[in-house]
Structure 1
Amino acid sequence: MDIRQGTAADAEAVAALHTRSWRTAYAGIFPDDYLNGPLVGRQAALWRDRLTGAGDDGGQLLIADNGGGIAGFAYLLPEGDRILLDNLHVDPGLKRSGVGGVLLRHALDGAGTRELYLEVLKRNTAAIAFYERHGGTKAREFVERFPEGFELDVLEYSWSGQVTA
């Protein structure tokens, strides 16, 4: 598996994987009408903007390419002295294959001396277990209000050293 920089040519495939991942990981957490409705357009617009330069936010897309397509991706977003790991998604059929750990280690390497952090839904227990297994430390808890009219509890995890296996 190769880790490469994402390009505008990846926007459609990344949006599709992002949507599949959310529908799998967030079933029963997000409202069904959101996961099966506006999510598709939201993800397509997000990745089209990020990768064509229209929404240039200084972010970096890492693609895990297994030779047969995109196995997973991570998006790093610089925020002063910290780096937000804004997305870390693995194709649902490849969960527990090591792809997520490889992407997380590359994200930490990309953060350099800056703290790497991410936000995860509190009810996403599988992701929380993954982050804790890989050395993440819970930093804070808050409620996120979505424009579609619902709220979810969120946890922030951070790394200031090496990711553990």
Structure 2
Amino acid sequence: MKIRFAQPEDAAGIAQVHVDSWKTTYKGIIADAYLDKLSMEEHRTRWEKRLSQPEPGEGVLVAENERGQVCGFLDYGVDRETGRAQEAELYAVYLLQSEQRKGIGRAMFGVLLEELRKKGYRSLMVWVLEQNPAVRFYQKLGSEEIERKEIRIGEQSFTEIALHWPDIVQLTI
């Protein structure tokens, strides 16, 4: 397994992980009709743009399996709620279901912490659906809940929670 910064040519692999992960993670939570409409092509286009025109302070990491295929990704940048330069936000992290529970997520999170520290970030937060099993993963990594809000996905309402690491400089995983 290898973790590295994503390149524009990774867009298709990231899109595959993104769509497949949504379909497996949110099955039984988000309506099948919504999940069935997720488009690989739309996600690939979005990721091509994201990777070829990165914003300052943002980055995307990918995990490659032993065959050199993208099996996970992690997207991060400046906290979109506060916009403060020293506060980072984990925008998304997804792994193919077949690659979960192998330490890849924890390894990507460790690389993320190193990168954020190098860039001068001091804290980190992530918004996650309350029903997402990843909540437990983030809690095991030392996050604390700081906020809740209601969001809509398709025709459904969900509670999204903000999990926070107030001091990533001292955080060890």
TM-score normalised according to structure 2 size = 0.84
Bigger Cα displacement from structure 2, 126-135 vs 57-66: 57-66
1:151 maps onto 2:154 in alignment:
no
Deviations 1:100-122 (A, max 9, x none): 00011111222214211111100
1:85 maps onto 2:90 in alignment:
yes
Bigger Cα displacement from structure 2, 137-146 vs 10-19: 137-146
1:131 maps onto 2:138 in alignment:
yes
Task: Work out whether residues 71 and 99 of structure 1, in 8 Å CA contact, stay in contact via their aligned partners in 2.
Answer: no
Distance 1:44 1:150, change over 3 A: farther
Which letter maps to 2:11? A
Alignment of 1:8-19 (within 5 A): 8-19=8-19
Point out 4+ residue stretches in structure 1 off by more than 4 angstroms.
none
Task: Work out whether residues 74 and 89 of structure 1, in 8 Å CA contact, stay in contact via their aligned partners in 2.
Answer: yes
Q: Which runs of 5+ in 2 are unaligned?
A: none
Task: Work out whether residues 19 and 38 of structure 2, in 8 Å CA contact, stay in contact via their aligned partners in 1.
Answer: no
Q: SS state of the match for residue 101, structure 1?
A: helix
Task: Work out whether residues 120 and 156 of structure 1, in 8 Å CA contact, stay in contact via their aligned partners in 2.
Answer: yes
RMSD: 1.7
State the aligned residue count: 160
Aligned-residue identity in percent: 25
Deviations 1:41-64 (A, max 9, x none): 5423321220122xx433201111
* 1:155 positional shift: 0.8
Task: Work out whether residues 63 and 73 of structure 1, in 8 Å CA contact, stay in contact via their aligned partners in 2.
Answer: yes
Distance 1:45 1:29, change over 3 A: farther
Paired position in structure 1 for 2:7: 7
TM-score normalised according to structure 1 size = 0.88
Task: Work out whether residues 9 and 48 of structure 2, in 8 Å CA contact, stay in contact via their aligned partners in 1.
Answer: no
